[in-house]
Structure 1
C-alpha cells in the first residue's frame, strides 16, 4: 500500500528505484510530490529533476538521464510516467528498449532515484521487466482506500493541520464529501483553517461548512424520501434547480441511487458482504454501506416499482410530455407514498 512507504520517505530512507501503480491518481501525485520534496532542495530542482512521459519519450532517453551525474547536490531524481510497457497494452507512439531497463534495474546508478508512476489497475506479471521491478524496486499500490483507511486519512490530515476531528465529524465528513481523496483533503484543510489550530471539530461544523457535490445532494434527497420527509426532499430539489442543475441529470442520479439500493438489497439477500458487493458493482464499499442502510426501508417489489416509475419519468422528459421540473416533483410525491 502506498501509504506504507510515505513514512520511510519522510524519514529520508530513500531507495534507488520506486514503482507506484494503481488507479488512485491523488495518491500517485502525493507520492511524487513527497519524493521531490524529500530528495531535492529548491535550488536543485532545475538541475536534478527530470520528468518523462513514456507515451511520448523513448525509455532509453530517460535512462541516459538517470545515468548522468547530478549537476549540483548528491542526487538526481528521474520520474517516468505512464510506463505502458509494464502492462499488456502496447505503446502507441514511443518505442522502448526494455532490455536496457532490465540491465539498469540490476545495477542502478547510486546517485539517481528512478521512479515509475503507473496509473494502471494491473501490471502484466508475465513480463520479465515487471518481475525484475517487483523484485528490486520499492513497490506500492495506489488503490482506493477502504472506509477505515479513509477515516485514518482524515485523522492524519487533521493532525497535519493541528486540529482534531471527533468520530461523528469524521463519519459525517465521509457521508457528505464522499470518498474522493482530493475533495476530502480540500475539505479537511478548509475546516482546519476555519476552526484554527488546536481546535476540535464536531459534526455540526462539518454539516455547516462541507461542500456537497450534486451526487451528495441527491443522496440526501433520497435519504429524505427514505424517511418519508417529502417537504425536506422538495427543498433540496428546489435548491438544485436554483443552482441551474438540469432536471434530466438530477433524475438520472436519483435513478442511479435507487438502482444501487436495489442491487445492494439483492446481493445482500444472496449472502454477499459489503466488500464483495462493492467489487461486483464497481463502487466504493462505503457507498454500499450507505445504500444497504437505505435498502432496509424498501421491499424488493417496492424498489422494482420505483425503478419503473423513474424510467417512465425519464421517458416523459425526453419526449416532452410534461414540464421537466414538474415531472420530478410528481415522482417525489409518488415516492413519498411508495
Structure 2
C-alpha cells in the first residue's frame, strides 16, 4: 500500500484571515477548540476590521453564553451600528453548542435561535465561542448552515516554531532551531490530554526573555523558567530507564507522585507511552514511514517522533513484556493487591 505525505493543514486562523481579506466571511460564526488564544485573536481581528474606534463600546456587544437569553440576544442583533461597518455581537462560552444542557435555554429557545440566524440583519455579525463543539446538535448544524464553524486546534509544528520565532524577533533575540524544538518537546504542547496552550507558551517565552542575559536563548534559558507537564516527566522517566539509569527513573517517579497527580492517571499515561512505542516499533519493523505511522495511528507527528526516539532503545519483545507488566500493575492496584506507590516502584524496578 502506498502512503502519501500528509499535506500541511490550513489552520482556522489562516482561514479567517483570508476570508476576511477577501470579504467572504459569513455573518454567523462559531469559534471553538483548544486554542482560545487564536479564537480570541480572531475576534479582535474582526473588531479591527469592522468596528470604528469611536463607537466601539456601542457597536460591540459581548454576552456570557452561560447566562444570556435568546430574547436579549436577538434584540441586540437587531440594533444598527452607529459609526461602524457592522454591529458585532460576541457570545462567549456558549455551552449549548458544546452539547451541554443549560438552565434557561430550552428546546424552544434553540429552535427560535436557529430560525433567527437564517435571516440575520445584514449589518450584524454574530460570533459564538465555546471550548468544544457537538456536531450532532441541531443548533450546531443550524449555525454551520447559516454561517461557518472554525476549529482552533493546536498549531502544526512549523506554525508553532514560527510563533516562537516571531516573539523572539520582536524582542530582538534569537534561538537555534534545535533549542526551539527541544523546548516544544519539554512543554508537552503536543502530548495527549495536555492543557498546555499558546497562552502558557507565550508566558514561558516572556519569562525566558526576562531571565536570559544573552542575545541568543539556549534550551536551558527556556527550561529554566518553564514547568514541564506530567507527560514530559513520564517520558523523561522512560528515557532514564531505557538508558539503564534506574536511580534517575526512581527519582523522576517520586517527583511525579509528589506533584499530587492521581496514581491511576500516572499509570494510564505510562501505559499510553509504552503502547505508542510498541506500535511504532512494530511499524518500523514492517518498514512504514513516519507519515504512514501518523496516518495509521492518528497521533500527532511530534509525538510519533518522540516515540521513535525512545523505541529504538527497546526490542519489540521487551516493549511487549513491559506493556503486559503495566497492565498487570493496573489490575493489582485496582484490585487492592498492591499499594499504589509500591506498585509503580516495582514497575520501574522491572523496566
Q: TM-score, normalised by structure 2?
A: 0.73
Distance in 2 (CA, whole Å) between partners of 1:249 and 1:176 is: 19
Q: What whole-Å deviation, never above 9, does each CA across 1:199-235 have from its counterpart, x for those lacking one?
A: 3211121232221112211111111122222222122
TM alignment of 1:17-56, pairs within 5 A: 17=27, 19-26=29-36, 27-36=38-47, 46-52=57-63
More displaced stretch, 279-288 vs 268-277? 268-277
Say whether residues 1:189 and 2:228 are aligned partners: no
Distance in 2 (CA, whole Å) between partners of 1:148 and 1:221 is: 27
Rate the CA distance shift 1:302–1:101 in 2: closer, same or farther, 3 A.
same
Aligned to 1:230: 246
TM alignment of 1:1-338, pairs within 5 A: 1-4=11-14, 17=27, 19-26=29-36, 27-36=38-47, 46-52=57-63, 57=68, 61-70=72-81, 76-81=87-92, 93=106, 94-97=109-112, 98-104=114-120, 108-109=122-123, 112-117=124-129, 119-120=132-133, 130-134=144-148, 140-179=150-189, 180-182=196-198, 183-195=200-212, 199-269=215-285, 273-274=289-290, 277-278=293-294, 281=297, 283-335=299-351
RMSD in angstroms over aligned alpha carbons? 4.1
Rate the CA distance shift 1:87–1:312 in 2: closer, same or farther, 3 A.
closer
| CA apart distance, 1:240 | 2.7
Distance in 2 (CA, whole Å) between partners of 1:274 and 1:122 is: 31
Contiguous gaps of at least 5 residues in structure 1: none
Rate the CA distance shift 1:87–1:246 in 2: closer, same or farther, 3 A.
closer
Rate the CA distance shift 1:79–1:246 in 2: closer, same or farther, 3 A.
closer
Does structure 2 conserve the Cα–Cα contact (< 8 Å) formed by 1:86 and 1:129? no
| CA apart distance, 1:305 | 0.8
More displaced stretch, 121-130 vs 324-333? 121-130
Does structure 2 conserve the Cα–Cα contact (< 8 Å) formed by 1:60 and 1:96? no
Does structure 2 conserve the Cα–Cα contact (< 8 Å) formed by 1:146 and 1:285? no
Does structure 2 conserve the Cα–Cα contact (< 8 Å) formed by 1:255 and 1:307? yes
Distance in 2 (CA, whole Å) between partners of 1:236 and 1:205 is: 21
